Structure 1
């Protein structure tokens, strides 16, 4: 395998594409555990075409690293990685491998939400109780009656921190929590949908601490990381493995005008500054539950495979089917999101697919998962018996990658066609009594 990116030098400069060396077989990795696709009645050529689109995504110049893992019916049909993980200015950049942990950014939210649902499963919290029942200071600013469920659905009314709060404040959990709790709610009844890019995770982590005495990583170790056999899969990374993490790179057109302003409002910093911060040791070590879970593509896919299998992983019950149902079922029809400025369909912790088109491609009404800044897609689709993680380390918003990314997601849905009767699938879910 040897190819050149189809970008001309002028186009590369305008779109801020990377100038990394041509990728050859030394910088391409394929998992020996991949299963022949015909076990899932899919031609192997279809899987190879999906990967070729991943290669084109790398060739766009927008992503120094592309890693994709795809499971169908529990079989890992694809787990491959291409590109470079860091030291981009060095004569020989650091190659990416299947073991390179990538920051999932906002895709971390599903894991944080799942931990809260697990607390509910264990009887430690009630999702319909006000957040202030557990965290009294959250009652300030008209938030006294905002429930945990509304917080998980981005209806808590505190989508961001004030503009004058330095991003570095996010490393101080107590200070950040104090700032969030003091804020006035957008709506005291939780009727306004506004994506909580960072704020929600700090409240969820405090809920974990209040009711368990553990920090969110300690609880995550107990609930997901160890039972699923993960090496990374943590909010932040130990300093001893910082050097393994994929570095994020600013690419794509400069984010100016209304697009830049809106992104700055969501991220709490200008895009270029946010990317720079994400590579700093302080961010790598911090626990930012809404935005810095580190995992490989295979680990992220493994988590969603557990969800699509009703909470089971290799014969072990990690979550009850009822808990998975509560995490993934629609909270409300698509509604205009005041932060993202377009309609979004949410569950209590995940973004959901759409009948015509949605976050996870066309004709994916049963899909659930999350996207991460800016081209990270992690999702599962029970109708297709599918779990997918597409991890990248470039951070373009508008760039030459868009066509390749859209085609990649659409091709996954096309070749991994629906194979499950969803009415029958839902009817087979255990009853409340059986799930206890």
Structure 2
């Protein structure tokens, strides 16, 4: 026991991890309404094994809180949380629960994209029209022909925020929008693929404002949050809910200089600064379409379950099946992304899975969803008929959690095997 404690102390020091007790009893919150795995033809021990991988991620010390929700065929097979919502480095931390909201960071983009697709569904915009048709100021610096569809697929040509811009600008929608509009585009025809970590969200929010007269949260409430009965699931939170939010933590090995420079290029500031900012009242209160939607794991899984069901939730039509199809349809073969410096496969708003292995594990060609900073993953896989969300609050780039995370994704793919003939589905007319 002494050796184990010494090892953990050295590991936590090296990886900037939190201290984790040997006994995890009392640190988990488990949904009593989880459906027996046998109802889906799956061994319960296999589902418990998935949670075991999630517990290992927590035990690594890299993530003070881990929450996870897995649906199969609409049934909630697993909905659990473990760890600390706040005070992870204090003697009396606040325990996490199923009702603890977590910032989705970039996974917010999947929701924002669907709001833009809803505008198109209702005939308020045409995705093939230039952004400048709705926001004339965007036309400058070679961006006049960039379309809304290219914005959704990270080809708008304005992927980053200049280094000399104060981060407080993100909390001022008008100023941030003006900055994005003034930036020169990477290519006038939108041929350059470069992930837009922050910038695209300000354009999306402005599109909503211009054509509906509503704020981002007002439109979200109308289209998704209220019809689907979400408690949180909004960009920023009311001040009364700030005390419930899970705190984010800087963990993991210090980043190599070359990695840190690339992350600053993508995020606008360093990782530690992002974490500090994310815990401020200003960030908690802001509406940032690309970065600060707050949700529980169950709510995030619920959203993707609705998309799996062709845009329907409990008898309510949220999106038409055609709208969902447009939003998750592959834009082309994997292509090198200049921001993420790796091959990526996108739809108009989603990050797509790949074969033989992709963002959502092995053999996930049909999966769609989005990653969030860092180790937040929300997705649906129609071939497996699953909707999954994994929410975490540590922000490591490199840490000793990576093997456990890989085991979790691999376990989901291997345990929840393909059960839908996608060739048949794709052959049908919507």
TM-score, normalised with respect to structure 2: 0.97
1:245 — aligned with what?
245
Mapped partners of 2:203, 2:416: distance in 1: 37
Give 1:3-402 correspondences, 5 Å limit: 8-21=8-21, 24-402=24-402
Matched, 1:415 2:419: no
Please tell me whether the aligned partners of residues 130 and 146 of structure 2 are also in contact (alpha carbons under 8 angstroms). yes
Distance 1:7 1:363, change over 3 A: farther
Distance 1:7 1:129, change over 3 A: farther
Q: Distance in 2 between matches of 1:6 and 1:213?
A: 59
TM-score scaled to structure 1, two decimals?
0.96
Q: 1:137 to 1:5 in 2, by over 3 A?
A: farther
Change (3 A) 1:5 1:97: farther
Quick one: distance in 2 between partners of 1:391 and 1:174? 31
Alignment partners' CA distance in 2, 1:91 and 1:260? 32
* Structure 1: distance between partners of 2:344 and 2:6: 34
Distance 1:44 1:268, change over 3 A: same
- Is the partner of 2:141 in helix, strand or coil? helix
User: Is the CA contact 2:20–2:59 (under 8 Å) kept in the aligned structure 1?
Assistant: no
Deviates more, 1:199-208 or 1:255-264: 255-264
- Inter-partner Cα distance in structure 2 for 1:188 and 1:5: 58
2-structure distance, mates of 1:426, 1:205? 32
SS in 2 for 1:387: strand
Report how far residue 88 of structure 1 moved: 2.8
1:146: how far off? 0.1
Post-superposition offset of 1:328: 0.2
Structure 1 SS opposite 2:211? helix
Q: Quote how far apart the aligned CAs of 1:61 are.
A: 0.6
Alpha-carbon distance in structure 2 between the residues aligned to 1:206 and 1:219: 12
Offset at residue 11 of structure 1 (A): 1.7
Return the offset for 1:6: 9.7
Q: Which ranges in structure 1 are unaligned for 5 or more consecutive residues? A: 431-436
Give secondary structure in 2 for the equivalent of 1:29.
strand
Which whole-Å CA distance do the structure 1 matches of 2:5 and 2:52 have between them? 13
Q: Which moved more, 1:11-20 or 1:21-30?
A: 21-30
Q: CA deviation at 1:326?
A: 0.3
Q: 1:90: how far off?
A: 3.1
- Classify the secondary structure of the residue corresponding to 1:141: coil
Mapped to 1, the partners of 2:70 and 2:25 lie a distance apart of 21
1:22-70 residue CA offsets vs partner (Å, 9 max, x unmatched): 5643321100110001111111111000000000010001000000000
User: 1:69–1:23: structure 2 CA closer, same or farther, 3 Å change rule?
Assistant: farther
- Asked whether the 8 Å contact 2:118–2:323 carries over to 1, the reply is yes
Residues of 1 paired with 2:57 and 2:24: CA distance? 15
* Matched residue count: 427
Note the C-alpha offset of 1:157: 0.3
Task: Specify every segment of 5 or more residues in structure 2 that has no aligned partner in the other structure, as ranges.
Answer: none
Question: In structure 2, the residue corresponding to 1:336 is in which secondary structure?
Answer: strand
Closer/same/farther in 2, CA of residues 293 and 370 from structure 1, 3 Å limit? same
Q: Greater CA deviation, 396-405 or 88-97?
A: 88-97
CA distance in 1 between partners of 2:138 and 2:23 (Å): 51
Shift of 1:349: 0.0
Contact 1:384 1:419 in 2 (8 A): yes
